[in-house]
Homo-oligomer: A and B are copies of this chain.
């Protein structure tokens, strides 16, 4: 008996194998090392691709912070299971006092104007998912990122899925400055277009899932005991590393036939495992975009 076929099967439909054969070389896009952020945790390295075209000022700020080594040695000080891992200095929390030196530098990083959404790209690469979405008029993919759109206003924004990278903020829209969060649970779509999301995890989600959690009922999940917080060991931009020391990632082009085939076979599974065929409706956050690491240390 192959009881494990539930997983073989689901895998076929959830990772890369749903495509008829391996995608050809031209179906893959090499991730720009200037948009590849490497976050070293004590459990392993997390690779995040950022999308500067969705939030140019936030992306520039993130790169500047990384190059100033701002994050190195700070921590994931508020980690809520099923929701987000938040990293940085803990502005506005007792956590700030734990980092007096870094806190002194905060006035170098003034609040940013919100970049919650953007005008439709002039040459849209938008690939529609192909079914309705509960939270937006249109959803689909651009360069691998899950995107929602308002066709009337001609605005688009990144969707909060597991692995989405965004900047935290205060109540005011234009208040993000240094802190980031990464979604580690069921897609919190309510945050869409209300925070500046501009990246997605390409690999290493399992390391974020190992991060020490806070108690959401105590100080909204801030881990009071500094010794219990897991550090941000280091954050680097791949393009700042010597070429032979950079990891290189490729992501399946979401405007490729290979991706369309993968979506189609996910929508209409043909395996006999599906005793009852599921509704042919896909969750934008449940459609993986295949990623492979092709080189690097």
Contact = CB atoms under 8 A, between A and B. Distances in A.
B3 A175 contact: yes
A263 interface: no
A7 B168 contact: yes
B116 A276 contact: yes
Interface stretch (A27-35, A63-71, A89-97, A245-253): A89-97
Interface in A170-190: 170-171, 173, 175-179, 181, 184-190
B134 A283 contact: yes
Interface residues of A, number: 84
Contact of A186 (B10, B116, B186): B186
A7 B170 CA distance: 10
Given A7-B80, A175-B1, A205-B82, A186 B162 contact: yes
Interface stretch (A54-62, A235-243, A267-275): A267-275
Contacts of A177: 1, 3
Contacts of A179: 3-4
A173 B275 CA distance: 7
Given A186-B186, A192-B278, A285-B186, A91 B3 contact: yes
Contacts of A4: 78, 86, 90-93, 168, 179, 220, 222
Interface of A: 1-11, 13-17, 78, 80-84, 86, 88, 90-93, 111, 114, 116, 131-132, 134-136, 161-162, 168-171, 173, 175-179, 181, 184-195, 205-206, 209-210, 213, 216-217, 220-222, 269, 271-276, 278-279, 281, 283, 285-286
Question: What are the 9 closest A-B residue pairs judged by CB atoms, nearest first?
Answer: A2-B92, A209-B209, A190-B278, A8-B220, A81-B206, A206-B213, A173-B275, A3-B91, A6-B168
Given A4-B78, A7-B221, A193-B276, 4 more contacts: A1-B111, A3-B168, A186-B286, A187-B283
